[in-house]
């Protein structure tokens, strides 16, 4: 009995040693690969902050491939005063614009910067002011309290209606909830294990688990809880908020370009589609598959209609992006190639705008 007990204690001790070594290895790994701090917290949450400006990127934050400049933008440093003969383009939006799956410096605003600088050397400054999770009213607010001081000439906006299909919808009034403080200790190993498991466990198992989780949520709410089609009042709210963004930006004298949103789910419903659809549904358990797909169709119509009604230049991304995993990293975030197509769409529209501007042409 004593021997068994001794072995158990020994096993637990060795287990603890293994965990400590693995955790230290994870930290060394982050230090070597990303120049991450060894002892303090290092997580994606470091990239964002919630303060008097709302929910936005934390200035000078750095996490893996993502680097935020001193002004809270993902891009090179920017002078507050705009140099003469330079046009400023600021891209706003949420995670799709911020960039998740693209290689470093290949998010669509970065690629747009490259394209514009190649055609008009020294004439453009392009910034990525997007922040994951930023809904239209928050964008309007952030523009008002922060972005407009940089005197942007053009605001490129790739909006997403997804925020309107959650339990908690964006409201007209912006209230800033302080972000929860970063924990004192967080295991780096845990996050890495989660990512490794995603690659190791069979996809079928992962999908089955996610579907089971979703079914549980749906069943707990009873019949009729799920939307079969996008509720009109949610779409109307989205439309109203987009008008708010347009008016705020125009009010500051900037030109706004809107893009239509698209997703990666093709009609074929191949394996890639099924995985992406399940992940997407997991984010919006109240929606059925049809509801989510319809949501993007309706959202596109709203943007196209607003373009006509309010004379806003529109970049219709939806028909430009093939629905394959070459162009998307998940259900709607772009890959480097996908971001390139979005950048090209924006580039053409910007060229059209500036070429029609006599003042700009005079500087050519």
Partner 1 sequence: MLFNSFAFALFLPIVLILYWMLPFRAQNFMLLIASYFFYGYWDWRFLSLIAISTIIDYITGLKIQETDSEKFKKRWLWVSICTNLGILGFFKYYNFFADSFADVLTTMGMTVDPLYLHIILPVGISFYTFQTMSYTIDVYRGKMEPTRQFWDFALYVSFFPQLVAGPIERAKDLLPRILNKRTFDKAQFYEGLHLILLGLFKKVFVADNLGPFVDRIFRASDPSGFEVLCGGWMFAIQVYCDFSGYSDIARGCAKCMGIELMVNFNHPYVAVNPVERWQRWHISLSSWLRDYLYISLGGNRGGEMKTYRNLGLTMVLGGLWHGAGWNFVLWGAWEGILLIVHRLCKPFWDVHTFIQDHTPEILRRLFKMFMMFHLITVGLIIFRTHSIPHMWQLWGNIFTMKGAVEPSLLMPLVWYALPLTVYEFIQYQLSQDQWEKIGRIPSWVRTIVYSIFVYLIAFHGASAQSFIYFQF
CA distance 155 to 75: 15
Nearer to partner 1, 198 or 269 (CB): 198
**Nearest approach, Cβ of residue 13 and partner 1 (Å):** 8
**Nearest approach, Cβ of residue 357 and partner 1 (Å):** 45
CA distance 155 to 325: 28
**Nearest approach, Cβ of residue 20 and partner 1 (Å):** 8
The answer to whether the CB of 315 falls within 8 A of the CB of 256 is no
Nearer to partner 1, 11 or 79 (CB): 11
**Structure tokens that stand for 292 in this block:** 């989510």
Nearer to partner 1, 21 or 182 (CB): 21
Nearer to partner 1, 202 or 223 (CB): 202
Question: Which of 42, 340, 7, 12 lies closest to 187, judged by CA?
Answer: 42
Nearer to partner 1, 196 or 217 (CB): 196
Nearer to partner 1, 206 or 288 (CB): 206
Count of CA atoms in the C-beta half-sphere (13 A) of 249: 28
**Nearest approach, Cβ of residue 30 and partner 1 (Å):** 11
Residue 280's Cα: distance from chain center in Å?
14
Nearer to partner 1, 12 or 79 (CB): 12
Buried b (16+ CB within 10 A) or exposed e, 170-195: beeebeeeeeeeeeeeeebbeebeee
Nearer to partner 1, 14 or 217 (CB): 14
**Nearest approach, Cβ of residue 275 and partner 1 (Å):** 15
Cα-based angle 162, 163, 166 (whole degrees, multiple of 5): 95
**Nearest approach, Cβ of residue 7 and partner 1 (Å):** 11
The angle, 0 to 180 degrees and rounded to 10, between the axes of the packed helices 232-251 and 289-310 is: 40
Nearer to partner 1, 183 or 202 (CB): 202
For the CA atoms of 316, 322, 323, 327, what is the dihedral angle to 10 degrees? -100
**Nearest approach, Cβ of residue 18 and partner 1 (Å):** 5
Assign 3-state DSSP to the chain and report helix, strand, coil percentages, each to 5: 50, 10, 40
The answer for residues whose C-beta is within 8 angstroms of residue 323's C-beta and 6 or more apart is 262, 263, 264, 265, 266, 273
Phi, psi of 25 (to 5 degrees): -65, -40
**Nearest approach, Cβ of residue 15 and partner 1 (Å):** 9
The answer to whether the CB of 125 falls within 8 A of the CB of 134 is no
**Nearest approach, Cβ of residue 65 and partner 1 (Å):** 17
**Structure tokens that stand for 234 in this block:** 């949610």
Query: Which residues of this protein are in contact with partner 1, per CB under 8 A?
Result: 10, 13-14, 17-18, 21-22, 25-26, 29, 192-193, 196, 199-202
């Amino acid at each position: 009995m004593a021997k068994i007990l001794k072995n158990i204690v020994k096993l637990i001790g060795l287990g603890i040693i293994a965990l400590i070594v693995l955790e230290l290895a994870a930290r060394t790994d982050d230090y070597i690969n990303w120049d991450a701090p060894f002892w303090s917290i290092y997580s994606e949450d470091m990239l964002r902050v919630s303060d008097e400006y709302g929910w936005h990127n934390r200035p000078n934050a750095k996490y893996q491939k993502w680097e935020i400049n001193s002004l809270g933008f993902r891009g090179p440093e920017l002078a507050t005063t705009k140099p003469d003969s330079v046009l400023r383009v600021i891209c706003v939006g949420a995670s799709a614009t911020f960039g998740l799956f693209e290689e470093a410096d290949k998010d669509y605003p970065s690629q747009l910067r490259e394209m514009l600088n190649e055609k008009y050397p020294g004439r453009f400054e392009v910034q990525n002011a997007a922040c994951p999770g930023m809904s239209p009213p928050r964008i309007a607010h952030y523009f008002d309290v922060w972005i407009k001081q940089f005197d942007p000439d053009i605001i490129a906006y790739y909006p997403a209606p997804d925020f309107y299909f959650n339990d908690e919808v964006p409201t007209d009034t912006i209230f800033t909830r302080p972000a929860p403080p970063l924990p004192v200790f967080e295991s780096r190993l845990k996050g890495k294990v989660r990512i490794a498991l995603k690659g190791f466990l069979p996809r079928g198992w992962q999908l089955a688990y996610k579907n089971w989780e979703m079914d549980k949520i749906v069943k707990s709410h009873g019949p009729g809880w799920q939307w079969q089609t996008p509720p009109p009042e949610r779409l109307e709210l989205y439309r109203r908020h987009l008008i708010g963004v347009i008016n705020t930006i125009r009010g500051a004298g900037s030109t706004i370009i809107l893009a239509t949103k698209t997703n990666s789910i093709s009609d074929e419903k191949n394996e890639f589609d099924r995985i992406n659809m399940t992940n997407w549904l997991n984010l919006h358990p109240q929606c059925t598959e049809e509801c989510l797909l319809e949501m993007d169709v309706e959202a596109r119509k709203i943007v196209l209609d607003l373009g006509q009604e309010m004379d806003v230049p529109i970049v219709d991304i939806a028909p430009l992006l093939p629905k394959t995993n070459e162009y998307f990293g998940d259900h709607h975030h772009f890959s480097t190639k996908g971001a390139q197509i979005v950048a090209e769409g924006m580039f053409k529209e910007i060229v059209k705008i500036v070429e029609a501007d006599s003042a700009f042409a005079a500087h050519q």
